[in-house]
Amino acid sequence: MSKENIGIVKAWEATVRKSQAIAKKRTPMSVAHADDDDEPDAAGPCHAYHAERVLSNGDFYTGQWIDNFPHGHGKYLWPDGCMYVGEWYRGKTMGKGKFSWPSGATYEGEFKTGYMDGRGTYTGSSGDTYRGYWVMNLKHGHGTKSFSNGDYYEGEWRRGLQDGQGRYQWKNGNHYIGQWRNGVMNGNGTMIWSNGNRYDGCWEDGWPKGNGTFRWPDGSFYVGVWSKDTTDQNGSYYPSINSNGNLDWDPQEVFAVDLNDCQISPGEKVSIFPSQKMVNWPGLEGELFQKRKGYDASVRPRRESMDGMLNDYFWGNGEAGSVNGVEGLGNLQHEESVKKGNVSQLLRLKPVKRPGVTISKGHKNYELMLNLQLGIRHSVGRPAPKTTLDLRASAFDPKEKVWTKFPPEGSKHTPPHQSCDFKWKDYCPVVFRTLRKLFKVDPADYMLSLCGNDALRELSSPGKSGSFFYLTNDDRYMIKTVKKAEVKVLLRMLPAYYNHFRAFENTLVTKFYGLHCVKLTGASQKKVRFVIMGNLFCSEYAIHRRFDLKGSSHGRTTDKPDAEIDPTTTLKDLDLNYIFRLQKVWFQEFCRQVDRDCDFLEQERIMDYSLLVGLHFRETSSRECLTPRSRTSGNGDFDNEGTPQLSRIDMDQLLLDPTRWASIKLGINMPARVEQTVRRSDYDTQLVGEPTGQLYDVILFFGIIDILQDYDISKKLEHAYKSFQYDPTSISAVDPKQYSRRFRDFIFRVFLEDT
């Protein structure tokens, strides 16, 4: 241990000994409880005062105190040498502060609910220094990093890695300027070596890939297609007038030699995050895992999370316990005491049920499901040449489709089966195979989800369009039947759709994985066309509320009475009773991406799309948070149809898991806050209600769906007809340009920056 570190530890030990001596003089007990009534300096439950607290595990706090929690400015010391000095809010590090590690590493900047969050500087023990923005302990936004080996990066970060536009400077003088993804060079960029050589072009996973130009200082250059695979490498060398030429030069030297000195430094990792340092305040210790033997509901001690919210969870088998996951809660029950005189009533919240009906033998669509699974298994498993992301124009030709016959007895290319005789059609198979590769979908996992032993689930009723929806058993994929006109729209826009996804990884537009058709043989000759999509709400977090938002008001309310609304009900614009608040870097990215996606849909003449939003409430701190609709200023009756929740402590542990952070992206698994709103009356068509100031921590899911509606003659007639009866701006069927403008105006009113 260095002399500096020894000094830190000794200073900390001296502070603890001094504070323990003070505590012994004040009172004979070893732990000064925050809720003691005989605190001599207390000025009342709502007034801050200076306090010192020594916890039984050796932790020590000194600073401002209010209502049983650190609140204001204070210092917290851990026995392992970690220390925090800064602002607190009800027991959580909140505001500006400094956290130091025994290794000598420090973070100084903004904190939010225990996390390094906002603008801050981290200096590692090895000398690495990052200055910039953070979100939940990870570098996210614009920032600069000086590495201990002399390298330097300035640019955009995402989830702790370089992502976006950035510049990396190596100690030896080489530097790269361009696009990044997941910590490596990816996209368009320029590498300039210290000897004057230069490469301009496409990159993939840290290597030149695609079209690019390599230049020498004397003016000669090489132009062509680049790849580590020599069979894909193809180009031409052009010597300068003043050079003798370098005809023996091999482009593979760039991969084998030139880029060897251009390795990205991994940098120093944070040993333990400040939010992972569990703070057990006096009065909470020993209550987290209590046996229920001799349990009496009227005197049962409370279990509190670190922010003081009541979280009384217990297992039906008789033992209290923490929850390690959200799904499969089994007998987990939530009890909230509602005192009325001397009576303690228990509110029991029922679990969310899985939507849909399993398609078993005897179901009217059982044979269709078998046909569908047989066809997909054939399509995905069929041998195909190695795919490249640079597709030829012929792959997008609407005539590019493959018919396959599936007789019950089997054929040379198909297995025998127990379903009826049918034909199977694949539309643009190469494009969708490449899209699945672009979406990082493993073919085996994809086939297992759709064609495994588990049956599909049919959603209870078709949508307004008449389409039927089917869910895979693992909830990863959704199958939607589509009309012939929608197939034509998708095939028409497929080249632009493909290029949009290649250009914008964080696009909110629906992901399509396949487009197929089942044609039954015999007298009926029935054709069923369907598209396979990603399920936006496939998550370990239960979805408590879901909204379909268009930005129009006519007919945009749910027909169900409040008593029948449950977590599987999709509410609409006039049912919306929240404003969604995103952290700054997420909000900026959200605004940019909504603009890009709307521009794309507008150019493709698409209208009638929606933003589908799902909410998972992180705590049951209030009854109102799960009230189905709040169109009036009155409080509706709670319908007891909520969902068991994890406490803030449990949820924080889930969010701290690095594997879960890897799954957080724009619109998926996003920690955020929502603010409840109210409207003036039941008959008011006000789209956005008045904010109430009541905020809830949530996990957000959102994406743009229903993108296959062209502004064709039928929609033009619908617009003309309804314009005679209603306000033309309130109806859904409007020109794509007007639709895009109205959609954006509305979305940017209900999604705001969390300040």
Strongest mean pLDDT among 306-315, 518-527, 605-614, 674-683: 605-614
Residue 283's pLDDT band, with cuts at 50, 70 and 90, is very low
Evaluate whether residue 685 is within a structural domain.
Answer: yes
Quick check: 749 pLDDT over 50? Answer: yes
Please provide residue 484's backbone torsions phi and psi, each rounded to the nearest 5 degrees: -60, -35
* Domain edge (last residue) among 181, 214, 240: 240
CATH classification of the domain holding 173 = 2.20.110.10
Average pLDDT, the chain: 75
* Domain edge (last residue) among 535, 567, 596: 535
First to last CA, the chain: 42
Please provide residue 252's backbone torsions phi and psi, each rounded to the nearest 5 degrees: -65, -15
- Amino acid symbol at 502: R
- 723 and 603 part of one domain: yes
Which pLDDT belongs to residue 612? 95
What is the arithmetic mean of pLDDT over 194-210?
88
Which pLDDT belongs to residue 622? 37
Which pLDDT belongs to residue 11? 53
Q: What percent of the chain has pLDDT over 90?
A: 23
What is the arithmetic mean of pLDDT over 400-427?
86
Which pLDDT belongs to residue 298? 35
651 half-sphere exposure, CB direction, 13 A CA radius: 27
Residue 628's pLDDT band, with cuts at 50, 70 and 90, is very low
- 122 and 163 part of one domain: no
Which pLDDT belongs to residue 231? 80
Which structure tokens are listed for 641?
A: 């149809």
State the burial class of residue 257 (Cβ atoms within 10 Å of its Cβ: 0-12, 13-18, 19+): exposed
Evaluate whether residue 425 is within a structural domain.
Answer: yes
511 half-sphere exposure, CB direction, 13 A CA radius: 24
CATH classification of the domain holding 689 = 3.30.810.10
Evaluate whether residue 276 is within a structural domain.
Answer: no
Which structure tokens are listed for 732?
A: 């859904």
- 127 and 153 part of one domain: no
Query: What is the distance of C-alpha 381 from the center of its chain?
Result: 31
Which residue range is the domain that position 163 belongs to?
149-240
- 98 and 233 part of one domain: no
Tens digit of each residue's pLDDT (9 = 90 or more) over 336-394 = 333 333 323 332 334 556 777 888 888 888 888 888 888 888 888 877 777 788 888 99
- 57 and 132 part of one domain: yes
Quick check: 294 pLDDT over 60? Answer: no
Residue 409's pLDDT band, with cuts at 50, 70 and 90, is confident
Q: Which residues contact 374 (CB under 8 A, 6 or more apart)?
A: 406, 414, 415, 417, 419, 424, 451
Of 67-81, 84-98, 556-570, 634-648, the range with the lowest mean pLDDT is 634-648
What is the arithmetic mean of pLDDT over 697-725?
70
More confident residue, 546 or 114: 546
* Domain edge (last residue) among 240, 257, 282: 240
Q: Which residues contact 675 (CB under 8 A, 6 or more apart)?
A: 578, 579, 581, 691, 692, 693, 694, 695, 696
Which pLDDT belongs to residue 343? 29
Which pLDDT belongs to residue 500? 95
- 205 and 68 part of one domain: no
- 81 and 108 part of one domain: yes
Return d(Cα 685, Cα 728) in angstroms, integer.
Answer: 14
Return d(Cα 89, Cα 108) in angstroms, integer.
Answer: 17
Quick check: 105 pLDDT over 70? Answer: yes
- Asked if 595 contacts 572 with a C-beta cutoff of 8 angstroms, the reply is no
Which pLDDT belongs to residue 7? 52
- 392 and 482 part of one domain: yes
Which structure tokens are listed for 496?
A: 């632009």
Which pLDDT belongs to residue 494? 95
Neighbours of 656 (CB within 10 A): 16
Quick check: 8 pLDDT over 50? Answer: no
- 497 and 363 part of one domain: yes
More confident residue, 255 or 635: 255
- 111 and 155 part of one domain: no
Q: What percent of the chain has pLDDT over 70?
A: 71
CATH classification of the domain holding 486 = 3.30.800.10
Return d(Cα 727, Cα 686) in angstroms, integer.
Answer: 14
Evaluate whether residue 252 is within a structural domain.
Answer: no
Q: Which residues contact 571 (CB under 8 A, 6 or more apart)?
A: 545, 546, 547, 548, 558, 565, 628, 629
Residue 532's pLDDT band, with cuts at 50, 70 and 90, is very high
Which pLDDT belongs to residue 27? 36
Residue 655's pLDDT band, with cuts at 50, 70 and 90, is low
Which pLDDT belongs to residue 25? 42
Residue 705's pLDDT band, with cuts at 50, 70 and 90, is very high
Please provide residue 714's backbone torsions phi and psi, each rounded to the nearest 5 degrees: -65, -40
Return d(Cα 135, Cα 670) in angstroms, integer.
Answer: 11
Residue 467's pLDDT band, with cuts at 50, 70 and 90, is confident
Residue 243's pLDDT band, with cuts at 50, 70 and 90, is low
Strand partners, 77: 60, 83
Which pLDDT belongs to residue 493? 94
Evaluate whether residue 255 is within a structural domain.
Answer: no
Evaluate whether residue 256 is within a structural domain.
Answer: no
Residue 280's pLDDT band, with cuts at 50, 70 and 90, is low
Which pLDDT belongs to residue 549? 92
Which pLDDT belongs to residue 246? 61
What is the arithmetic mean of pLDDT over 534-543?
87
Which pLDDT belongs to residue 623? 37
Which pLDDT belongs to residue 460? 61
Hey, what long-range contacts does 53-57 have (CB within 8 A, 24 or more apart)? 53/281, 53/282, 54/16, 54/19, 54/20, 54/23, 54/30, 55/31, 55/280, 55/281, 55/282, 55/285, 56/30, 56/31, 56/285, 57/280
DSSP letter at 245 equals -
Which structure tokens are listed for 634?
A: 């009155």
Tens digit of each residue's pLDDT (9 = 90 or more) over 616-626 = 987 644 334 44
Q: What is the DSSP string of 54-106?
A: E-TTS-EEEEEEETTEEEEEEEEE-TTS-EEEEEEETTEEEEEEEEE-TTS-E
Evaluate whether residue 571 is within a structural domain.
Answer: yes
Tens digit of each residue's pLDDT (9 = 90 or more) over 136-158 = 888 888 999 999 888 999 999 88
Residue 417's pLDDT band, with cuts at 50, 70 and 90, is confident
Which pLDDT belongs to residue 464? 59
Residue 296's pLDDT band, with cuts at 50, 70 and 90, is very low
Domain total in the chain: 4
- 99 and 6 part of one domain: yes
Ranges of beta strands (E only) in 412-484 are 422-427, 457-458, 469-471, 477-482
Which pLDDT belongs to residue 474? 86
- 449 and 378 part of one domain: yes
Tens digit of each residue's pLDDT (9 = 90 or more) over 683-699 = 556 678 888 888 888 99
Quick check: 723 pLDDT over 50? Answer: no
Evaluate whether residue 207 is within a structural domain.
Answer: yes
Tens digit of each residue's pLDDT (9 = 90 or more) over 178-196 = 999 888 999 889 999 988 8
Quick check: 284 pLDDT over 70? Answer: no
Torsion over CA: 254, 255, 260, 261 (sign): positive
